[in-house]
Structure 1
Amino acid sequence: MKLALLGYGKMGKTIERLASEKGHEIVFTKSGSSEEGLLTDADVAIEFSTPEAAVSNIKLCFQQGIPVVSGTTGWLDRYDDIIKLCKARNAAFIYASNFSVGVNLFFDLNEYLAKLMAPWKEYIPEIEEIHHTQKKDAPSGTAITIAEGILKHSEELKNWKLNEQDDRSIVIKAIREGDVKGTHRVDYVSTIDTISIKHEAHTRDGFALGAILAAEWLVNKKGVYSMKDVLGLK
């Protein structure tokens, strides 16, 4: 498989290393205004750039007929526009707030627990996410996905709030420290006890391997998909 990497920071370089180990070829890289290779040579583009660059990167790939796997967060106010464009151009697209296989299993576990806890109103859900100090967006896209999974199964809670809690919202506590790769915890807190589930990333390799897996799966497909499709979780 020939890959384009749109975004060539820490994650892009990790993807390059692991993709090369799997026998794939990197034919194009882009970081800011710096480009190397030919985008049109790529079978699939993996997009881990910045919120400011993500939409234009994705549109460029659609124009060239190149499937896109995007893991950039912070641009989702434009998500519906991108989905419409993908369908209009008969393109292929996968977006995930987190491509780690473990995190996507955690998403399903989170929804199962949310359904189990729904009748027990005395338990209040809370989310905590911890990331490295260079992460620009807060809360993380992963934490938002977790919150959405809980809200889907709650009659009382209607939204999430960053570092703020009220009777109608889930609080997401966002912490930035050191070089933490990503830790997410869901607590159901009552006056009697607390039930918790947690995912902790030890390296960035899990995110990168999941993105490569998604790219392998997306080759020769058309349409809009998710990691649930890739992992057969639907």
Structure 2
Amino acid sequence: MKIALVGYGKMGKIIGEIAESRGHEIVAKLNETPSVENLNQPDVVIEFSNPEVAFENIKFCLENSIPVVCGTTGWLERKPEIEKIATANNIAFLYGSNFSLGVNLFFALNEKLADLMKNFGEYNVQLEEIHHTHKKDAPSGTAISLAEGIIKNDKRFNGWKLDETKGNELGIFAIREDEVPGTHSIFYQSEVDEIEIKHTAFNRNGFALGAVIAAEWILGKKGNFSMKDVLFS
């Protein structure tokens, strides 16, 4: 495939290396606004930029009939608009809060555990995520996805709240430390014991490989997708 990288920071560079190792051609490496001229007619765009520009980047690509795989977090209040644009233009859009195979298995494990624990009110639940100090959004998109998986399965909660557990809100605690690719933990704590599940990323390679696999999968498809479609459909 011909792949355009929109957002060429640390993650974009690793994605480019992995894509080329799998036989794909990188036709654009952009840190500026995409245009018809600088995208160089790609088969697919992989978008890892920042929350402030992600919406406009994706919108432009979809309106120009270029499928998009997006891993930028922190802009999701506008994701329904993007999904409507993808549908209206009969093109594919795939969003992943995390493209790692391990994390997507962790998502499934989290939902299963939440379903098992939903009738045991003596256990308090909270999430913790640790990322590098350069990460701009808090909580992480992965943590939000984990929280949504718990909320869907446990009717005690009707939402989540950052750095606080109060009433019917599930607490997410965001910690920033130097050069941590990403650690996510879910705790179920009672007066007598604690159950914890945890995913620790050792580097960014797993995220990058998943993004390239998603780009390979999305080619020729139409509609709105997630990594669950890529891995489990």
- The aligned runs of 1:1-234 (5 Å cut-off) are 1-32=1-32, 38-232=38-232
Alpha-carbon separation, structure 1, partners of 2:34 and 2:43:
21
Alignment coverage as a number of residue pairs: 233
Q: Give the AA of the match of 2:144.
A: I
Aligned identity (percent) is 56
Q: CA RMSD in A?
A: 1.5
Distance 1:91 1:40, change over 3 A: farther
* CA 1:221–1:36: 2 relative to 1, 3 Å: closer
Q: Distance in 2 between matches of 1:82 and 1:205?
A: 27
Give the counterpart letter for 1:22 in structure 2. R
Give 5+ residue unaligned stretches, structure 1: none
Unmatched tracts of structure 2, length 5 or more = none
- Say which SS state the counterpart of residue 99 (structure 2) adopts: coil
How far the C-alpha of 1:32 sits from its partner, in A, is: 2.9
CA displacement 1:112-165 (0-9 Å, x = unmatched): 000000111111111000000000000001000000000001121111111111
User: Helix, strand or coil for the counterpart of 2:175?
Assistant: strand
Greater than 6 Å deviation, 4+ residue runs: 34-37
Work out whether residues 94 and 226 of structure 2, in 8 Å CA contact, stay in contact via their aligned partners in 1: yes
2: distance between equivalents of 1:162 and 1:55?
A: 23
> Are the equivalent residues in 2 in contact too, given 1:139–1:173 (CA < 8 A)?
yes
Normalization by structure 2: what TM-score?
A: 0.97
**Contact 2:6–2:34, Cα closer than 8 Å, also in 1:** no
